[in-house]
Structure 1
């Protein structure tokens, strides 16, 4: 009876595991769940995302920066006096590299973004940003369905 019920469920698709929750047995017989990247990214906290973004930005890892950016990143003027420009993800690494060479305009010591980023191993939300949003200097990050992503840059060309 149990076997027939299990087969019935499997035939209906109810017993099949979604691709995000595949259970694998390793050589020791232990099982582990492997999560696919979209689901893992969407469950990722800012504390998990930030060190990865920080490493990629400081290393100039273009592929990682593209992967951690929204498909289109808005580039805004520092004074918000010009219309936003839509940057495709392919142009984001160069824009991030440029932002890192500039002072953030708020730091009392006048440090550039790169130096502040080096000194910020943990994201420090300021509480003034809406939930699911984090601003670091001239870069804005938002948490969406696919996890945390760079969504806006403040940069004058």
Structure 2
């Protein structure tokens, strides 16, 4: 971590991030949402990949997704604007597929839209401080990256001014 952009940034005390709630923080100009679910911290881009909803205001819900023949529980944030579900672990867009023409609504299956939301490494140190390391890898492009562009920041700033 010799590169300054890769250094972990202290975003607050552990007590600032309560169980089951989302919090908004800014790390080096990038707005993030931080969640604590079952004692584990997660950091994602603040704005939902779909249309920019503030994920820090979303509810947390568990969804079970089949993976390699097993069922894996994914804690998800539910976007407050359009109810898109995003895995806190992976940034995957997750949805429930059903056949509306089948009797009783058909066999509902939880499916992935793929990784849409950028996630960021987060840790809680022994002093009770929470630190985030921005994941700015250019190996993969995420739809949520659009909301962290300079163009979008300028647009949001103009909207705040009225």
Choose between structure 1 and 2: higher strand proportion: 2
TM range (shorter): under 0.3
Q: TM-score, normalised by structure 2?
A: 0.27
